[in-house]
Amino acid sequence: QVQLVESGGGSVQAGGSLRLACVLKGRLYSPPSLGWWRQGPGREREGIASIDVEGGVEYADSVKGRFTISKDNSGNTLWLQMVNLKPEDSGMYYCGADPFTRLRGRAWLLGGPGQYAYWGQGTQVNVSS
């Protein structure tokens, strides 16, 4: 059974930093595309940062220059380093893994995991002004 477990969320003041982690537990038979998605209060889920299966990295325009996505060599741990956080960054952050998607690059970030993908339970980020 495959599970994604996020951690690292919390409450910070504007300008602060957080580092989110997502650990993939279990075995996938093909390498997945990975990424972070965010859902704020009253807002739709949006792609924040992603690494597709070919290593292509994409960021939402709202977080470019402030967030950095990375993963370890095994691909089992995904991180999201967030600096200079703003109140509008508040929300539930989810990591997703999709070993079946054919989406790459920006399309992967915007399209997100498909119906057979895996999601974590989410970690809450609250940024106060």
pLDDT of 106 reads 94
Q: Is the pLDDT of residue 84 over 90?
A: yes
123: phi then psi, degrees, rounded to nearest 5: -135, 135
- Burial class (CB within 10 angstroms; exposed 0-12, middle 13-18, buried 19+) of 33: buried
Helix (H, G, I), strand (E, B) or coil at 113: coil
Write out pLDDT tens, residues 34-82.
Answer: 999 999 988 999 999 999 999 999 999 999 999 999 999 888 899 999 9
pLDDT of 29 reads 86
